[in-house]
Amino acid sequence: MTLLANVGMGMVLIFLIKPFSGRLRVLFVAACTVLAFGLIGFISAAMVGSKPDIMTMIRVGVSILAGGLISLFAYFLLSPVYERVFNLNTGLRLMELCSFDQPLLKELEAKAPGTFNHSLTVANIAERAAYAIGENPVLAKAAALFHDIGKMENPEFFTENQTDGYNPHDELIPEASVKMITRHTEAGAKLLSEQGFPKEIVSAALQHHGDSSVGYFYHKAQNITEGTLEEKGYTYLGPKPQTKINAIIMIADIAEAATRSVRPSTREELVTLVDKLVRQKMNESQFDECPITIAELTKVKEAVVNTLMGVHHERISYNLDKK
């Protein structure tokens, strides 16, 4: 009876505990389930035999409670070990990676504060977009938080971190600038791999630009070059997004950056901008290697617009002058 009760508890917990629950919720739900099954075992023992045996009832109830509590203790003790050893992206681990106490995020905030704030917005967009198309929102948020982690290597080469008016690209030829810009994807993937991050997060850092062109420096090089200039040397190395979440992060990344630059004043302008950016990526065949559909892209665009409207909403103008 005790064995059957413990198996039953495990099956019930699989259905009760949501995939992305925090450890506190897991503890609460599991404790309630263990107590419930202990009570059921206590009552069921009274139905066995011709008359209730109070000692048997107590023994069965206590055995079920003890087995459940030991299993619960073992889960909390061993799950972090399994997550690290097998590099698993469980809901609990992903939620811990999203914490601002995560050392790599703290380092990003200190070294590249502009990139850190950009990543926060991209993470919010990615989370809502993933939820809209039925993907893992916690994985999308975690991957987005670390997608630009490679920029810590040379933060001053990215505009969001340039606060004093100095731009090091002014002193470089376009080819050198492109190498400095594009290397952040490989640098980020390498760093995350060395830190033991889940492969899904590593791939987001590597794939969120695909093999897109670095348009600004390509056009800059064209202006100083006679004849036709091949675009091949002015692109990211790829690969293209292989998953829906990486496609979402690609869209969220360019939409956040473009919105910060263009600053559309109405929702209609923002919708037009986001649609243009997604169509541009489609024309570049950036989504050809992931299973995202046109219908899902429409939902992603809507989520992007809704989130950015909340971030860049117009504020009330307060007249503080006293007449």
Three-state SS for 212-238 is: CECHHHHHHHHHCCCCCCCCHHHECCC
Q: Which residues contact 103 (CB under 8 A, 6 or more apart)?
A: none
- For residues 267 and 309, is the Cβ–Cβ distance under 8 A? yes
- For residues 68 and 33, is the Cβ–Cβ distance under 8 A? yes
What are 212-270's pLDDT values in tens digits?
Answer: 999 889 888 888 877 678 888 899 999 999 999 999 999 999 999 999 888 898 999 99
Reading the block at residue 51, the tokens are: 């008359």
Q: Look at residue 228 in the predicted model and tell me its pLDDT.
A: 74
Residue 261 or residue 132, greater confidence: 132
Task: For residue 213, list its beta bridge partners.
Answer: 235
Residue 253 Cα to chain centre, angstroms = 12
Helix (H) or strand (E) holding 303: helix 294-311
Q: Which long-range CB contacts under 8 A does 8-14 form with residues at least 24 apart?
A: 8/37, 9/33, 9/34, 9/37, 9/64, 9/68, 9/71, 10/71, 12/37
Q: Confidence class of residue 52 from pLDDT cuts 50, 70 and 90?
A: low
- Whether residue 34 is predicted with pLDDT greater than 80 in this model: the reply is no
Averaged pLDDT of the chain: 85
Q: Look at residue 32 in the predicted model and tell me its pLDDT.
A: 78
Q: Look at residue 256 in the predicted model and tell me its pLDDT.
A: 96
Q: Confidence class of residue 275 from pLDDT cuts 50, 70 and 90?
A: very high
- Whether residue 87 is predicted with pLDDT greater than 70 in this model: the reply is no
Least confident of 17-21, 43-47, 102-106: 17-21
- For residues 251 and 207, is the Cβ–Cβ distance under 8 A? no
91-311 maps to which CATH number?
Answer: 1.10.3210
Q: Look at residue 322 in the predicted model and tell me its pLDDT.
A: 47
Reading the block at residue 61, the tokens are: 């109830």
> Could you tell me the residue ranges of all domains in the chain?
2-85, 91-311
Q: What percent of the chain has pLDDT over 70?
A: 80
Q: Look at residue 312 in the predicted model and tell me its pLDDT.
A: 67
- Whether residue 101 is predicted with pLDDT greater than 60 in this model: the reply is yes
Q: Look at residue 229 in the predicted model and tell me its pLDDT.
A: 80
- For residues 126 and 248, is the Cβ–Cβ distance under 8 A? yes
pTM over 0.75: yes
Least confident of 42-46, 96-100, 248-252: 42-46
Radius of gyration of the chain from its Cα atoms, rounded to whole angstroms? 26
- For residues 71 and 2, is the Cβ–Cβ distance under 8 A? no
